[in-house]
Structure 1
Amino acid sequence: MNATVNPLLVPDPATDHILGPADARVTLIEYGDFECPSCAQAAPAVKIMRDHFGRQVRFVFRHFPLREVHPHAELAAEAAEAAGAQGKFWPFHDLLFAHQHRLGEAHLRDHAQQVGLDMARYENEMRDHVYLQRVQEQMQVADQLRVRATPSFYLNGAFVDVSFGLAHLQQAIEQALAKG
């Protein structure tokens, strides 16, 4: 990755959810919201791109719940972090987007059971809001980056506008890979 990349856009394996190798030629960071309809629409397309580009792309998901318009998004992000602590972030991520209209506490608990979480641990961590600070820290970084909408994507540190569709994102990945 380019040495001039904003340090806020350098993935941190200790706090970020990352798919793909650290030495991938392209790093794609998504700021997303589990209750955002556009994020739910983007999720399958992003998965197709991840599969298509394989180990050439490292994909990072960060939370940016838009609390004002999506009342369940922050709690869903906390639940995803709880799942991540048990090594199940990605299955939980996919389940949340597949069942986006089922993000209340009881639904999140059902999703946690479905992905096989240790339920006593999950319930304790959710009750104590163990992961709220991590979610809020990712939101603060997004604010520093001036993220305004979800999904927002950064490719090798540069913002990629997907407001007119995800085809632009795929083209940006292809161009970055062609540059070598």
Structure 2
Amino acid sequence: MSHNISAEGTGDRNRLVVPPSERDYRQGGLHARVVLVEYGDYQCPNCGELYTLIKTIQRQPDATFPEGNDLCFVFRQFPQPQIHPQAQKAAAAALAAGAQGQFWQMHEMLFSHQQELGNGYLVEYANNLGLDISQFLQDIFKKVYMDAVNEDIESGLCSGVTAAPALFINGIRYSDHWNIEQLMAAIITASN
């Protein structure tokens, strides 16, 4: 991967070009002291590891952060179908579930079953969440959410994202190791 390519329209490929907004699925408020934005792929093993790290950080007691656990987490779709053939459909499944108020529940299910993302499994997950299955299937097969997925991908590309996972902390690309100590340190630094 070449590091001298600048993202189109920006001089800095380590900054988040499209700030979090109401259109994003998020946990926490947009005005939190620390806003994490992940570009992720449901079939990517590294994204699965990051999913676990973020869940751990979200469960930290309030005392861990100087000003309490004031954290917002935004997940944007960045499927990489060339290496993860089920990723695109999994992204659509998350958004179709989101349309029925179950985005985060489906998000969790997809990351908990990364090796099981075929059509039958997606229907099973939707069923387990009590979704309207015919609506869910219609949304996926009519590619209702392709534009939303492509918008996420485009915003990622503009911010220099070339592969998932990519994480931004308060708009700055996180480039340290994917372990709890270093990620926590970066978050605590950002919260000061």
Q: Residues 29-62 of structure 1: CA distance to partner in whole angstroms, max 9, x if unpaired?
A: 0110000001111212101111226751110000
Give 2:131's aligned amino acid: L
Higher mean displacement: 76-85 or 111-120: 111-120
Matches within 5 A, 1:95-174: 95-174=109-188
Contact in 1 for aligned 2:18/2:155 (Cα 8 Å): no
Structure 1: how far apart are the matches of 2:16 and 2:33? Answer: 17
Counting aligned pairs with the same residue, the percent is 36
Judged with a 3 Å threshold, the aligned counterparts in structure 2 of structure 1 residues 9 and 55 are, in CA distance, closer, same or farther, namely farther
Structure 2: how far apart are the matches of 1:121 and 1:166? Answer: 39
Judged with a 3 Å threshold, the aligned counterparts in structure 2 of structure 1 residues 168 and 148 are, in CA distance, closer, same or farther, namely farther
The answer to which structure, 1 or 2, has the higher relative contact order (CA under 8 A, 6+ apart) is: 2
More helix by share: 1
Runs of 4+ in 1 over 6 A off after TM superposition: none
- Which consecutive residues of structure 1, in runs of 5 or more, have no partner in the other structure? 1-5
Counterpart of 2:100 in structure 1 is 86
With structure 1 as the length reference, what TM-score do the two structures score? Answer: 0.89
Equivalent of 1:24, from 21, 32, 41?
32
Counterpart of 2:55 in structure 1 is 47
Counterpart of 1:3 in structure 2 is none
Q: CA deviation at 1:114?
A: 1.1
Contact in 1 for aligned 2:16/2:159 (Cα 8 Å): no
With structure 2 as the length reference, what TM-score do the two structures score? Answer: 0.84
**Structure exhibiting the larger radius of gyration computed from Cα positions:** 2
Secondary structure in structure 2 of the residue aligned to 1:96: helix
- Which consecutive residues of structure 2, in runs of 5 or more, have no partner in the other structure? 1-14, 63-67
Root-mean-square deviation (CA), in Å?
Answer: 1.8
Secondary structure in structure 2 of the residue aligned to 1:8: coil
Give 1:33's aligned amino acid: D
Structure 2: how far apart are the matches of 1:80 and 1:164? Answer: 24
Contact in 2 for aligned 1:152/1:162 (Cα 8 Å): no
Higher mean displacement: 36-45 or 49-58: 49-58
Equivalent of 1:59, from 73, 83, 91?
73
Give 2:43's aligned amino acid: E
Secondary structure in structure 1 of the residue aligned to 2:74: strand
